Amino acid sequence: MTNRLVLVINGGSSSIKMALRREDTPGALFDAIAERLNTSQACYTTSDGERGELANATHLDALNALLPMVERHLDRPLSAVGHRVVHGGERFTSAQLLNDDIIAGIEANVPLAPLHNPANLTGIRAAMQLLPQTPQVAVFDTAFHQTMPPHAFRYALPDELYAVHGVRRYGFHGTSHKYVSDQAGLLTSLGKGNGAWLTAHLGNGCSSCAVLDGRSMDTSMGLTPLEGLVMGTRSGDVDPNLHAHLARTLGWDLNRIERLLNRESGLLGLSGLSNDMRELEQARADGHSGAQLAIEVFCYRLARSLAGLSVALPRIDGLIFTGGIGENSALTRALTLKHLAVLGLRIDPDNNSALPRGQAGRIEAKGSPAILVIPTDEERQIAEESLDLLDTQPRSQTA
């Protein structure tokens, strides 16, 4: 079957995003977002240019309002609804057809993702209620990383914390790392799903990954998405004793420290100016020292992470940049590569700066392993994993 349609849904705590995708086709046929749900300012906007108020709408109300707009774009029934779910824990190593048991499994992972999983479940429940005849699939951000070996996913903590309480490294952004590493295989003639890749997903959240023949071997994020790289407002790695230090010296409680590390740090904290790389590049060009420092730390720490991850691979076929920063910031790519000569990776400065924004391309110098810029497409990955799952399910389960 080809040309099937999938509605991809991403339920957030106060928003719901949706995109209508056609199988094997880049770009969305239609997308929409409803925001500030459960408040008097709730509203929606769509790719058709429609906007409207949805005062006090719940996720269910918003979906109910938006589905007729989706239906205008359907030339056949929806084959599936694909839901992004942040945390699948150790149970979910691939996409799952949603039923009561799978929903209970997502609920069981709420302690690991206390903000995200309940929000994802709200979207799932609304869609199952409004589209009861359509198979609904959960695609997990963590699932791709379940191939990591124990020496990569275990923390050096007493065993009980892992065995009883699930404290381990899980990793996130799995759909993006998988999508771009698959594409890299196609772009380099190694073949889809083949190759030894370092991937850098650099958006508001940032993570790096080592991928070998379509399997995640290690990644920078851990138990939560705070570990690893410098991000827009997240600190990434800090001394694990920082919590105790701040509590003792400043009297800060856990909420204050969590706010510091998740919302006030990263590019924003270092620059004192912004979490937005575009704005920081402009400020750096205007001589802003905080912006300059923030970009330097961001790139150095990224390079350090990639060099560290290289030990998870038998060789390096290439490095992939993706996400809003990775796809668009030639400066970030160039500064990061300055620190990576040790891996034999060398960038071609002209190709790097000439690459049209948002386009896939190769920017390595002659003799270097491939350096690729690949626009990520998590919605496409979710749509394709949803359809692949349906293709392997017995008919009775999807009817």
Sites of contact with ligand ADP (CB under 6 A): 203-205, 232, 276-278, 281, 323-325, 328-329, 357
d(C-alpha 314, C-alpha 334), whole Å: 25
Question: Cβ 319 to ligand ADP, closest distance in Å?
Answer: 18
Closest CB to ligand ADP among residues 175, 328: 328
> Which residue's Cβ lies closest to ligand ADP?
324
Question: Cβ 383 to ligand ADP, closest distance in Å?
Answer: 17
Closest CB to ligand ADP among residues 96, 381: 381
Sorted by sequence, the CB contacts under 8 Å of residue 397 that are 6+ apart come out as 97
Q: Which residues pair with 80 in a beta bridge?
A: 6
Question: Cβ 356 to ligand ADP, closest distance in Å?
Answer: 11
- Sort 238 into a burial class: Cβ within 10 Å, 0-12 / 13-18 / 19+: middle
Question: Cβ 327 to ligand ADP, closest distance in Å?
Answer: 7
- Sort 397 into a burial class: Cβ within 10 Å, 0-12 / 13-18 / 19+: exposed
Which amino acid, 226? Answer: L
Closest CB to ligand ADP among residues 224, 328: 328
Question: Cβ 241 to ligand ADP, closest distance in Å?
Answer: 29
Residue ranges of E strands in the chain: 5-11, 16-22, 30-35, 43-46, 51-53, 80-85, 96-97, 136-140, 196-202, 206-212, 215-219, 318-322, 361-362, 370-373
Closest CB to ligand ADP among residues 324, 369: 324
d(C-alpha 204, C-alpha 265), whole Å: 12
Dihedral of alpha carbons 176, 178, 182, 188, sign: positive
3-class DSSP assignment, residue 209: strand
d(C-alpha 126, C-alpha 11), whole Å: 10
What is the H or E stretch that residue 20 is in?
strand 16-22
Closest CB to ligand ADP among residues 309, 325: 325
Catalytic residue among 141, 182, 218, 377: 141
Q: Is 141 a catalytic residue?
A: yes
Catalytic residue set? 141
